[in-house]
Amino acid sequence: MSADRSEHGRSLTGVWEGIYSYPLHGMPPVAFTATLFELGNALSGSVSEPCTAGPSGTLDFSLSGDRSGNALAFVKTYHGPNLRYRHPIHYEGIVNEDATEVEGTWTIPGNWSGRFLMVRSGGQPSAAAESTGVRRGLETVGRER
């Protein structure tokens, strides 16, 4: 097996640009950057996103999970002093056929959930997100809830 392929097709290892929506109207979607590492069925990595509540800055998370065929699941865990983000966030998604997009839902168990979409970064993250309709797509999904 080559280094850039998993048993499920193309490896998810790489940098991904994404966006997630909140279930409440009036809360804007949040962009994020995820760096994924896939080894066998295991996923690990990190997520960086702007702090949207409280002091400005960047929030850093780790992620761990697994992939089975085109389905993936991971938990995003915050590493920092802001207790507002202390709850693990569960993500479940479906990888498209050529492993360039992942779409699904995120959940804080017992609290709330929303939708997310990630696209593989092609060197120009903002252009990649716009060209695949990431921002427009999730804004539409957010209005449907």
* CATH of the structural domain 5-136, one choice from 3.40.190.170, 1.10.645.10, 3.40.50.1000, 2.40.128.120: 2.40.128.120
- Which pLDDT does position 84 carry in this prediction? 74
If one compares 73 and 83, the residue with the highest pLDDT of the two is: 73
Q: What is the pTM of this model?
A: 0.78
105 contact partners, CB below 8 Å, separation of at least 6: 91, 92, 93, 113, 114, 115, 116
At 7-65, the pLDDT tens digits run 456 999 999 999 999 988 778 999 999 999 999 999 999 999 998 877 778 999 999 99
- pLDDT band at residue 6 using 50, 70 and 90 as cut-offs: very low
What is the rounded CA–CA span in Å between residue 102 and residue 99?
8
Mean pLDDT of 54-78: 93
For the chain, the domains span: 5-136
User: How far are the Cα atoms of 103, 105, 122 from residue 72, in angstroms, in the given order?
Assistant: 10, 11, 21
- Which pLDDT does position 8 carry in this prediction? 52
